[in-house]
Each structure stands twice: as C-alpha cells, then as structure tokens.
Structure 1
Amino acid sequence: MPARSRRPSRIPGEAWIDEVIQYIRTNLQGDLSLAALAQAGCSSPWHLHRNFKQQTGLTPQQFVRQQRIRLAEQLLLETTSSVATVGGQAGFHGTAHFMNCFRKEAGCTPVQFRKQKLAEAAQRR
C-alpha cells in the first residue's frame, strides 16, 4: 500500500478561513501569494479564493493589501521612518507600488496621511 502524505486535516466550516486570516496577519512581510495562502490553509487556490470571498467579502489579495496598508498607517504614525522603509516593513515590494496601493486604499499619499494625522493629534492637545 502506498504511503499517504501527512497533510494536516482541514478545519471544518468557516474556521479554517479564520486560521488563514490569522496566518496573513502574522506573516504580512512574507510571501502571501494565493498559492502560499492555499498551502497554509491546506486547500487549493480556487477553493480558498471562493470561500475566503464568501466569508469576508474580499478576495485574499484584497485582504492582504488592506492589512498591509493598516500596518503601514500604524508605522507612519509611530515611527519617523521614510515612506520607502515603511512600505518595505509592511510587506510591499517597491516604493511606487506601496504608494499606489496606499493612495487607492487611504485616499491620500503616505506623506499626506502622516502630516494630516499628526496635525490632528497636535490640535487635540
């Protein structure tokens, strides 16, 4: 009898998508391609994409981008690091790509975001 591969069993119901979400949140700087996420979730890319979108309303890549932008926003406010450094720390490959994604998600550039939020914080003091 051939040896079976020892893949972890899939968690029933929607809980396995929650595990993929947790994997994304803890690995924002790593490879979060659909294939990598499917492997982490012990699923096929197609099955992951379909179920993830049903549960969250976003595709896996939209969710990854959203989480990376949230991390970048936090880093922009808590550090004095350059935009390029913040983009890299948030998992983006290339400053131009980071700035385009940030502008689409936040509605402004990272520099504008930082200035606006710091000015708002100073007014509250």
Structure 2
Amino acid sequence: MLEPAEASPGTQAEQASFQGIRRICGFIAENFREDIDCVDIAVSADIHPKYAMSVFKRSTGMSLGEYVSLMRVSYAQALLMRDDASILQVAMDSGFGSVSAFNKCFRKKAGMTPSEFKREHRAAPPPLHA
C-alpha cells in the first residue's frame, strides 16, 4: 500500500475527488430539506459547480439533482408511514416547493403516488393484548 507521500498524481486526484464527494454528500444529507442547488452544494465542498456535477455523476451515476430528489423522497417515505402525516405537510417537510412537484418526483422515484405509498405502507395498528 502506498503512503500518501508516495502516492502518484492520479491517486492524489482520486483522493481529492473522493473527499469532494464526501463533502458533497454530507452537505446534501444535512440540507436536502432546504432549497439548495448545485452552486450551494459545490461551494460547500469548495469546488467549482461544473466540476462538482461532473465528478459526482462520474462517481455515483446520478446527477446532484437526482441525488437530492432521492434523499427527499426517501425522507418523505419515512414520514408517510406515520398515521398523522398529511401529503401537504410531508411535501413541505421533505424540501419540495409544491405538492405537484412532490407528486411528480415521488411517482418517478417510487413508482407510485404518495397517497398510494401511504395506503400500502401505513404502520400496522398495535397488537391487542388479551
């Protein structure tokens, strides 16, 4: 195994890309519920927005926007499993600007509407004690 001082320039570039992706993912994980874009994300990793988009797509196979949407839908799915969750409140709490944007993105990522998901995945009632 190469020590950092012995690493080749290609390896150093890969390490820098990996660190950038870690910072990008961390920023998205902490801020996906806010109105963020690729510039906000790139600034958080201290890299140029075009480079951030390129290195992220090359490393993950998805765009920054797709990843943010995936995080939002995953969070929304968890919220929808609660009995008291309204579709409007889940949409807003998950970072979507409107219910229509939420419905469109949710259907694309989950293959069903939020209402269908809620019906299918509603938490089971607690068992009755004899």
Q: What are the ranges of 5 or more consecutive residues in structure 2 without an aligned counterpart? A: 1-14
Structure 1: gaps (5+ residues): 1-10
Residue 48 of structure 1 corresponds to 52
1:25 aligns with 2:34: no
4+ runs deviating over 3 angstroms: none
The aligned residue for residue 75 of structure 2 is: 71
Q: Distance in 2 between matches of 1:46 and 1:107?
A: 30
CA distance change for structure 1 residues 12 and 74 in 2, over 3 Å: closer, same or farther?
Answer: same
1:96 aligns with 2:100: yes
| 2:65 counterpart residue number | 61
TM normalised by structure 1 equals: 0.82
Q: Percent identity?
A: 28
Superposed CA RMSD = 1.8
Q: How many residues align?
A: 112
Q: Give me the TM-score of the superposition, normalised by structure 2.
A: 0.79
Contact 2:17 2:55 in 1 (8 A): no
Based on CA coordinates, which of the two structures has the bigger radius of gyration? 2
The aligned runs of 1:5-24 (5 Å cut-off) are: 12-24=16-28
